[in-house]
Structure 1
Amino acid sequence: MSGPAEPTRASRPVRTPSLRWRIVGAVALLLVVTNVVVGAVTVVAYREYLVGRLDAELATAAGRTPGGRDGERPSGPPPGSDGTSSARPDPDNTFIGAPGQAADTVVAIFRDGDAVLAGYTDDEGRQHSLTAAQRRQLATVAADGEPVTVTLGSLGSYRAQAVGDDGDVFVTALPLGDLDAGIVRLVVVVGSVTLLALVVATWALTLTVRRSLRPLERVASVASSVTDLDLERGDPDIAARVAPADLVVNREVGQVGSALNRLLGHVARALTVRRDAERGMRTFVADASHELRTPIATVRAYAELSRTTDDIDDLHRNVDRIGREARRMGDLVEELLLLARLDATALAAGPDPVREVVDLTATVVEATVDARATAPGHRWTLQLADDHPVAVSGDPGQLRRVVTNLLSNARTHTPEGTTVVVSIQQVALQQDSLQHDSGGGPLVRLVVANDGPPIDADVLPTLFDRFTRGSASRTREHGTSGLGLAIVRAVVEAHGGTVRVVSEPGRTAFTVELPVRPPS
């Protein structure tokens, strides 16, 4: 039985250098290339300068050689032509040691291609003759007066110049040894300085990059700390944030840190929304189950009771009660479906709401007339605009549901004898008005006010939430579901408007503001 397969080389993650070392390496390489180029150009230029100076000295030395010390050309073979050296200057060969000539200056005279004289004087004043090979090398120098570089065997490299005079060729050569040694020393100095500068620059750059990337490392640490949180539980308490000091250390780190802080803020808000949605969904399901369980239990009880009785009157009463509970369940289901459709529209997941011109004044009048017939014990008062009917663009069925729910709420939660005032008018958008999506256009304001008992202060913040009830005893008495005001808010917000309530002893007012033309 074979064991687990080992990861192949291709599947293993490739470790790349860190950003810090990539920056240091790139800058160090740039420094090396720059210093090498600068050093090479400096050495070449300096050598050309020294060679130019040597050529000038060569021209001066060549002017001293013709004619010798006495101004006469030497004749005959030079002493020491067999390669031996003389311990003292030879008067017949003073041409080799002409006055002013530097040590190791090579001079030679060629007549008809043969070397008449060829030698040099060392720094101790001794004269030396050149070997046959060295003479042949000098014989190759063109007599055009242009300096050239030649190699004279053991003597090394020389800078030679040849000039012709009545068939004779006079050759003068100066050694390049000191010049080359100076160039070597210059190369060593430039190389040493370059190496030292590279070490110092790399050390300083490493410290600088490390200090510059330290805020970025803290940003990465903040991001890593978020991964340790248990976000599956929807915990919105994400306290990790990039410190303000790191946001201003430099622009790049500030951009990354600010983006991370905004991202964490969005995540925290999203988790809060999800937590609240889950909590609301659990509450919604529990309340809906509770609301449906009561009528279902009632229907089941009366159905079982009907099976055990033969009294026709009892059967009729049982059927009537079953019918009422069935209608109650149907109304609850319809309200839940309406809220679901409004939620889908708000999330842009459902079809666009119906948009047509709705005479809201006529809708308010009809709903108020119906309320008078349903609750004659209340005093219903209408306050309408005098000039013209008020119209908005929206869904007529949903807008009628808003008006009827507000009137039903006033009827249900206030005792008989309460005065309910319904007013509607068109107003201009005021600076102190609530925020709307109307774009600054006119608003329709619908107010349903009553002088009944005030709403409990602890209920006001959640009054428009689903299954929120103001009075449990009156809710049970009238069989309300606690969804009426939630539907009002959902419909009004779907039409780009707002709804609010103000309750105090002697006056409770629900105010709905709708834009005349809500956003499409």
Structure 2
Amino acid sequence: MPAFSGKTHLPRRNWRDPSTWHLRTRLVLVAMALLVAICGAIGLFSYASMDVFLTRQLDTQLKQASDRARDFGGRPTPGNAGGRQDPLEARGQSIGTLNARIVDGAVSSAGVLAADATRKSLSPEDAQVLVAVTPDGIPVDRTLSSGDYRLNAAQSPQGDVIVTGLPLAEKQNTQSSLVWTMVVVSAGGLVLIGLAGTVLIRRTMKPLEQLSEVATKVSRLPLDAGEVALAVRVPASAAHPGTEVGSVGYALNQMLDNVSNALEARQLSEMKVRQFVADASHELRTPLTAIRGYTELMKMTEHFTPDGEKSLARVQSQSQRMTTLVEDLLLLARLDERQPLKLGEVDLTQLAIETVSDEKVMAPDHIWRLKLPEEPVVVRGDPTQLHQVLANLLSNARKHTAPGTTVVTGVTRSADGSAVVTVTDNGDGIAPDFMNHAFSRFARADAARKNPAATTAAATRSAPPGSYGAPALAPAPTAEGTSGLGLSIVQSIMEAHGGTVDVTSRPGRTEFALRLPAGLPAT
């Protein structure tokens, strides 16, 4: 099984998608949006209330001014029996007050009381606006050349119309000041509340962050094999069952306790199995050695029929194969126990030459090539174990590829100083569904092993007449069987040396890459 990478791939955050934002960010934004809505509602209500208040106040002042102007304008002019007083000269009128007399649909006199108590005439356009005002006593807003005015037209007892107006500038200035005050106060309040809310929400969300941190640490632990110390827990401050977040933290701690107990039970079971395999393998060495010895002795001292010689040769080959399997199991047991390596200087270029030469003798029907640097590549390691690593890879290439396949063994020194050994062949490749467990123990990709019934039938059919008829005594198939331990041994030895092994495969190219560090392996 490939080594656990220890990395978790988080989805990329898209700032245009609110669902990918942090929860605290969304809470702060929602709180700010609510505050903005509340401030806006308060501002609109205040503005509307102030507008109604100021309008009523202005209408009261306008009515008083209109009454004074109408009463004064109805008085006759001294020395002129047919004339009337100018409404603008009425006492008590404030600066900016507009007065006009309209007779027979035309403005006979009009003006605005200026700041220096003089009369300021109106333009013809202003006169047309005043004439259009209905004399019903209801105040209206109109825009004149001198600004916005609140106008009131009332008919005097003499039949003419007296128009009185007060400027809206003071009301507008008051409303403008109110708006700016509301904006500044609201903005300042929003900033302060936003900062304070961010701090409070961050502190409130701290337990969730602790839960996330614990879950992330656990997700990065290699829990698939070996001894695992699952000591990560949610802090007690975030694991109170009385709160929502505390209940989640408490449940997570309970789950981690359960997982830890399960891992300890699994580790104990694995240790028992490994100890049993090591003990059984050790005990099997003696009877297997005796079987091989007696087989050799019988071949030298006894005479057999041709079928008997074939059967004895089969016993000898199977005992040799069983011995190899037992030795592999013992090696894996020693590697699992992390026994110290017998370190020494290992020339990988010379090791590659010797191992490939051995394979040439065993499989002359394959094409064996070397790709070596000009300078030797020397590392610190266990020479015997590194030889077995390369021998296992070359043996796999020999067993699982057809005759005529080209196998290239390369040795290089990478830029970071580590040594890299590659074994590449142009065979059919490894099945994709087998790649995920290629380094697992007893994993075998050969088709004959996957169909025992076909293998047994083929062995039975190949038994010659007069034989014992048992499939186990029939001649072996032409393809070599494998125990499924070769790549597992390769991975265990490389891990013991602090290195790695990787495999890439596609039809026409399969490559195993060994990488050994430049420094001493950890022991």
Q: TM-score, normalised by structure 2?
A: 0.48
Greater relative contact order: 1 or 2 (C-alpha under 8 angstroms, separation 6 or more)? 2
Q: TM-score, normalised by structure 1?
A: 0.48
Higher Cα Rg: structure 1 or 2? 1
